[in-house]
């Protein structure tokens, strides 16, 4: 999910440019920064040693997405980042628990 979302931002697809404009973000650079962060977070999730960092980075992005959708009144799209937030919290909890067991 994050690879696809980040990829569409880095590709500069029209719907992403329009969305960032609608959200009143500086579309020409901020969209690319978010795309890089999504790809970085997804990459960090792959490896056990960096999984917690990836989950934290993506959690920040998902909380920001929820905040943005609330701010602009896009209530119908909030469930997607909310579900991802819950899943990322579970990943973070499991990862931290495993790291604690290994210590």
Cα–Cα distance, 83 to 12 (Å, whole number): 25
pLDDT at 103 over 70: no
More confident residue, 103 or 81: 81
The helix/strand/coil state of 12 is coil
Predicted pLDDT at 100: 85
Residue 47, both tokens: 């490896």
Mean pLDDT of the region 79-102:
95
Q: Cβ neighbours of residue 7 under 8 Å, at least 6 residues apart? A: 35, 39
> DSSP letter at 66?
H
Considering the entire predicted model, what is its pTM? 0.93
Q: Give the pLDDT confidence of 11-29 residue by residue, as tens digits.
A: 999 999 999 999 999 878 9
User: What is the number of structural domains in the chain?
Assistant: 1
- Residue 17 domain boundaries: 2-102
């Amino acid at each position: 999910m994050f690879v696809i979302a980040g990829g569409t931002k880095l590709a500069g697809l029209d719907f992403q440019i329009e969305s960032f404009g609608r959200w009143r973000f500086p579309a020409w650079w901020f969209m690319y920064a978010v795309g890089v962060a999504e790809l970085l977070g997804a990459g960090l999730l792959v490896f056990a040693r960096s999984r917690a960092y990836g989950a934290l980075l993506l959690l920040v992005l998902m909380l920001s997405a929820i905040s943005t959708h609330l701010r602009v009144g896009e209530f119908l799209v909030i469930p997607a980042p909310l579900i991802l937030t819950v899943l990322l919290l579970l990943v973070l909890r499991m990862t931290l628990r495993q790291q604690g067991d290994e210590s």
